[in-house]
A and B are shown apart, each in its own frame.
Chain A
């Protein structure tokens, strides 16, 4: 379900690595900022550790682009420190993430054809 004002997903490609990773993290469920960082670090085996500056700058741009939305803090959280912002991927965000994944797959196919990438194991 795409908002009529939003551009075609393909026009946003290629995504910044941080953006793509955040989309992947949020694809698994709503998360707050620190959870996103942890999630990304885990998925990438600590290869990508987002700094707070990069994270929130990416989140701000993704909000503007309509890839994600901010949601109210889930009731069940029992943290004692200050309120946290939670983010949720939008349908548009999902389609952009899929488009990016397709683009990367095509790329890997091309690389494989040229002998730069191993055949599927």
Chain B
């Protein structure tokens, strides 16, 4: 029983316990003795427990208030220290909070769908090639849905791109999604107004319906609720608006702004290799992802047996919707968070250093207070209160920094996720910042505080003169750690910079400069036939080529890098491959002149011609890697391939382009005539115009707009950009990340320099007399200077050695982002070391100069 009472006593501060602990125990013992009987004891405890707890809280609070008052008084006396410390804490906390918010937003925070952990994406995957995923064919989707038992519901979706006309504004090209009726209920979202799709909307030939996004509704219809029931024109067809989704709804990507029902005409089920949709399903309650994967494996195997010709080696992948984040994005964000933590650590080291120095200056004051009976615990507590008090405005300022910085980081949020572009600072983030603030305050306060409690008695005896050597060592160790971590940051920044340079130096396969591109999405079915498309292309291209400065113009179905897909299986006579083993190539429909306009070299044969029409023999131009794959030492010209559902003759060989961007190896490319076949779908009809000019590409925009509008005034013009911008976008996320890392590195270096400066300045001022004596005894000023700088260098070298070990670890961690740059890249390491040395010199210069200027007579008179 008394044990419990003893335990309750631990709720009180140690100083209180020392003072009153035994008293309280003895009082309690007496009361226990006098209580008499079981019920008396019970009553006593009923009284004692709230009494103990309530008063413990009150005592702690009293002490805290007292500490805060004292801390504020003492901090007010040194405003320079106060501001420096707050600024450093703010930088560390701000950087970490911003990085955490991004990581939380992209990787951790649940998607904005109820029970999002049950949502899975279904795809076909290649059981032979590791990690290759494909879209799903409607027939497979239909069978999966029929055969599976793991899912509460399943739907199909795909991306959509339509032209909207008939509103007050110019024709618009709008991205959206095409959903079966199950998709929205599966996601668990309800419309803001109106209704969602029903099975009736899915029927082939049902009246056309559309649901608008909140953003589009606001933009085009000013949030008019009478929009439901009205008709809008998409691709020149009337669609009945049936609903508007809430502002927070994004699917399948952030760009989606309207949704139409997906209808399957009966004939799409005939071809199991016609893959163009994705499956989305919700796991039944109690069914795990693994169980669903196992079931789908079985179903995949059954289908593969039933349709071995098409589906051999085709499996089914089931992945959580939440995990649809690429490894690269994940890695980029983790690097960001790691670097931010590094900055926070350096900030904490720096603050610990500052506080230690301050404690040394105040050591007499602290010693006196100890002598007056403030126990060591009280002292530690007092100093911790002070550091937490410093951290709180630091944390608030840091939160403001994070808030301001978030919009600069949006490029790190992939646009393929169904989440908002800019993360919100929600309660979780605020809580994180608060926790970070407290932890930071304790982290940088604890060591100086504990050390301040040590050997205070000797301080009084020895007086204020002797410079506690042990503490100098301790502070030196802090500075060495700061240098080491800044080296690690610098090397990480350096390696990623080299990687970026290497990626930017990758030859895209085309000459990006002086090329303007824009998109004119041709609405179907109006432009379904070549007869209607051809006059349009001819008119636009002819007039464009006549513009001054224009040296080439052509249309292509998809620009390289803007669209990486469009991958089709290749069949080649003499290379028997089963359907399932087929190798693939990217297919692009082009008009004549594309290679010249893009600056893609034509090595052999010829370009497509106007004469390569639907009635002429079908032709294909292949890239060099295609030739290397099939006809290593043979002449490819005149050979036949079966590609894009037609037999085609190879008529030319061109250079390879980086269709999938500079960091990914592209499939070989096959270019086919825009007129072969006659009836390509919206998706494959050439819509991207490329124009090469001798002047400023943007100077062409107004002329091009005029030309296109005179050809078809209903046609929206979108995605106006130069090819240089297209290429630059490939590295946008990396450049953002590097910008942040560079900033972090600069902060780290600055803080480390401040740390070195602080340490040396303190050493010099506490050794003024010694230096004075040395000078009086004939030491040259240069020796004094060298001695001080040398001390800084010693710290720097120790830090650099530690930093290089850290840097190697960092390099290994970053390897997958390095694009082949070695983790121990000599140039990067040398630059980082050089920066560290310069920083050391900069940090030790002022103290060294002060040391040199010590006047021996003044220094010795002070004795």
Q: Which residues of A contact B (CB under 8 A)?
A: 33-34, 37, 49, 51-57, 60, 81-82, 84-85
Contacts and interface: CB of A to CB of B under 8 A. Distances in A.
Contacts of A57: 55, 58-59
23 contacts: A33-B24, A33-B26, A33-B27, A34-B27, A49-B47, A51-B50, A51-B51, A52-B27, A52-B28, A52-B48, A52-B52, A53-B24, A53-B52, A53-B54, A53-B56, A54-B55, A55-B27, A57-B55, A57-B58, A57-B59, A60-B59, A81-B29, A82-B22
Q: Which of A51, A53, A57 has the most CB of B within 10 A?
A: A53
Nearest to B11: A53
A52 B22 contact: no
Contacts of A82: 22, 26
Contact of A52 (B24, B53, B58, B59): B24
A53 B31 contact: no
A54 B23 contact: no
B55 A37 contact: no
B30 interface: yes
B55 A81 contact: no
A51 B56 contact: no
A56 B47 contact: no
Q: Which of A52, A81, A84, A85 has the most CB of B within 10 A?
A: A52
B30 A56 contact: no
Identify whether the interface residues of B are mostly helix, strand, loop, or mixed.
Answer: helix
Contacts of B307: none
A34 B29 CA distance: 10
Given A54-B55, A56-B20, A60-B20, A37 B47 contact: no
Contacts of B59: 57, 60
Task: Give the bracket for the number of chain B residues in contact with chain A.
Answer: 20 to 34
A102 B31 CA distance: 33
B612 to A, nearest CB: 96
B26 A51 contact: no
A51 B52 contact: yes
A56 B56 CA distance: 11
A82 B21 CA distance: 12
A85 B18 CA distance: 13
Interface string B25-51: 011111100000000000000011011
A85 B52 contact: no
B147 to A, nearest CB: 69
A34 B55 contact: no
Interface in B43-101: 47-48, 50-56, 58-59
Contacts of A85: 23
A105 B229 CA distance: 81
Given A33-B26, A34-B31, A60-B59, 11 more contacts: A33-B23, A51-B47, A51-B50, A52-B31, A52-B48, A53-B24, A53-B56, A55-B27, A56-B20, A57-B58, A60-B19
A54 B48 CA distance: 10
B55 A53 contact: yes
A53 B8 CA distance: 10
Contacts of B31: 34, 37, 52
Identify whether the interface residues of A are mostly helix, strand, loop, or mixed.
Answer: helix
Contacts of A60: 16, 19-20, 59
Contacts of B20: 56, 60
B442 to A, nearest CB: 27
A52 B53 CA distance: 11
A34 B33 CA distance: 12
A81 B26 contact: yes
B556 to A, nearest CB: 82
A108 B201 CA distance: 84
A71 B501 CA distance: 80
Contacts of B50: 51
A84 B55 contact: no
B145 to A, nearest CB: 68
Contacts of A34: 26-27, 30-31
A84 B23 contact: yes
Nearest to A58: B55
A81 B28 CA distance: 13
Nearest to B43: A49
Contacts of A53: 24, 51-56
Contacts of A52: 23-24, 27-28, 31, 48, 51-52
Contact of A51 (B16, B23, B29, B48): B48
B27 A37 contact: yes
Nearest to B28: A52
Contacts of B51: 51-54
Ordered nearest first, which 7 A-B pairs have the shortest CB separation? A51-B51, A53-B55, A52-B24, A53-B51, A56-B20, A34-B30, A52-B27
Contacts of A51: 47-48, 50-52, 55
A37 B28 CA distance: 11
A85 B22 CA distance: 10
A101 B190 CA distance: 70
A54 B58 CA distance: 10
Nearest to A50: B51
A81 B32 CA distance: 15
B139 to A, nearest CB: 77
A81 B23 CA distance: 11
A55 B55 CA distance: 9
A51 B22 CA distance: 15
A66 B239 CA distance: 87
Contacts of A49: 47
Contacts of A84: 23, 26
Contacts of A33: 23-24, 26-27
A53 B51 CA distance: 6
B54 to A, nearest CB: 7
B5 to A, nearest CB: 9
